[in-house]
Amino acid sequence: MDKLIKTISSNGHFRAFVLDSTETVRTAQEKHDTMASSTVALGRTLIASQILAANEKGDTKITLKILGDGGLGAVIAVANSKGQVKGYIQNPDADYKRTSTGEVIVGPLIGAGQFLVITDYGTGHPYHSMTPLISGEIGEDFAYYMTESQQTPSAIGLNVLLDQDDKVKVAGGFMLQVLPGATDAEISRFEKRIQDMPAISSLLASENPSQALLQAIYGQDEYKLLSEEPLHFVCDCSKERFMDALASLLTSDLQEMKEEDKGADITCQFCGSHYHFDETDLEELIHDKS
């Protein structure tokens, strides 16, 4: 089962989240039939949104949009504080050649654009914050967002490791944040440890990826476990939700669907579920609007 582990250094000066999101990203790949580059891009976006949502409480919902001008198009993930996430990528068939070491590159396919976060507290007035994409590799863009928009210096690692058949082998990430009270010497020690950290793909491929990440982050520094929470790919779509969406259309449009198309078919962009609305459904909507 996927999980998010929240920790804090024993002196309270550093906080770290580590995530094993393998099943989450594997489910997304299966639902969207993504290629190698699009799988990694979507996976990193899902993990980043899970990290952002882990900072929230209650019914807060986080929507992360990677809006680049490259071949992948928009990459979108929606997560909540309960560990649930869903997402999709505009062009799942886009792919890019690998490096000589076999690493999947996504930056050129993301391109230039914006890293947009929408925080919905359920009050009807969501909060938007945005920073430019600086590399398109998503992890660096996320760290830049946290520093510039949230004013929280953060070290972030996100990755998705694929097997020889380009299926998700393991996926996960981490975020380390400096908290008030940290001394320059402590910050330097943690910075050096992050700089010397093995490739996150190798840590994720270890027998216990969460513990490998924590060991790489904290080294000999002691830390306390705050919580361990499950993570899941969950889509909350339903026929009722799409019925409400159809109800927002003009009566003339609904009448046209009923008479010319004999119904309507809608596919959820987040999970691929199909919903059919027959003439009776449309007539009910038309009647309700009259």
pLDDT in tens, 54-112: 989 888 999 999 999 999 999 999 999 999 999 999 999 988 767 666 678 899 999 99
What was the pLDDT predicted at 100? 61
Q: Torsion over CA of 214, 218, 224 and 227, rounded to 10 degrees? A: -30
Pairing of strands 264-267, 274-277: antiparallel
**Which parts of the chain register pLDDT below 50?**
none
- Name the pTM for this structure: 0.92
Q: Would you state the pLDDT for residue 99? A: 67
Output the pLDDT for position 277: 93
Report pLDDT for 162: 92
Say if CB 92 and CB 31 are below 8 A apart.
no
Q: For 1-18, what is each residue's pLDDT tens digit?
A: 899 999 999 999 999 999
Q: Residue-wise over 141-177: b if at least 16 C-beta within 10 A, else e?
A: bbbbbbeeeeeeebbbbbbbbbeeebebbbbbbbbbb
CA 227 to chain centre: 20
